[in-house]
Amino acid sequence: MPDASTLALFVAAALVLLIVPGPSVLYIVARSIEGGRKAGLVSVLGVQTGALVHIASAALGLSAILASSAVAFSIVKWLGAAYLVWLGLRRIFGRDEAEYDIAVEPARLSRVFSQGVIVNTLNPKTALFFLAFLPQFVDPARAAAWAQILLLGATFVILALCSDGLYALLSGTAGGWLRRRMKGVTFRRGQRFVSGGILIGLGALAAASGKD
């Protein structure tokens, strides 16, 4: 298992990333505003169920890479660090505001859950994010890579349930005010710079500390 300092660093990095809202959070906000707090919380469960699919895939894929070659696993970590930096630069300089204009229709809670699962499971950016992010905190010398990835992934999902759940409760209560706030141009610009800077910092940190 990862040592205590590595796990603490992972939790800190995950919390910072989760606090800054991305497309999944804005989907949850839209659901919460449309259907209330209950619909928002159900959408959170759906989104994070989709995240578990990506985490399981990452554990299987990265373990296979490590089993074939420790050097290959190290290369994956370096590529992951580079991807995080690239993703951060893309968020800062990209013009993808349309991605955040999320409109939803009222639906049954079962449908809200299933849509949340589908939205996250079929998002290739989520898969790439976990493939890039989780290996930065894996030490193959300490335990099986798949076990470490599952532990880190489960920790990320638990933290996400808490942070996204808070967004759902707040947005379900705030309603129209939060909708206007989330769609504001200034808010979008600030969100891009903050989240992009965080991802660049994570990638640079991973590159600077990558010694395997």
- How far apart (Å, rounded) are the C-alpha atoms in residues 131 and 121? 14
Q: Domain of 171? A: 4-16+23-209
Residue 206 has which token pair?
């991973």
Q: Which DSSP string corresponds to 67-83?
A: HH-HHHHHHHHHHHHHH
Answer left, alpha or beta for residue 31, where phi above 0 means left and psi between -120 and 50 means alpha: alpha
- How far apart (Å, rounded) are the C-alpha atoms in residues 134 and 111? 30
Number of domains forming the structure of the chain: 1
Residue 18 has which token pair?
């989760």
Instruction: Check residue 164 and give its pLDDT.
Output: 93
Instruction: Check residue 205 and give its pLDDT.
Output: 65
Instruction: Check residue 18 and give its pLDDT.
Output: 86
Picking from 132, 135, 142, the residue whose alpha carbon sits closest to that of residue 4 is 142
Q: How many residues does the chain have?
A: 212
Instruction: Check residue 171 and give its pLDDT.
Output: 80
CA dihedral 127, 145, 11, 121 (to 10 degrees): 20
Binned average pLDDT, 10 residues per bin, the chain of 212 residues? 82 85 75 82 93 87 67 70 76 60 61 84 76 82 83 93 92 67 57 66 63 45
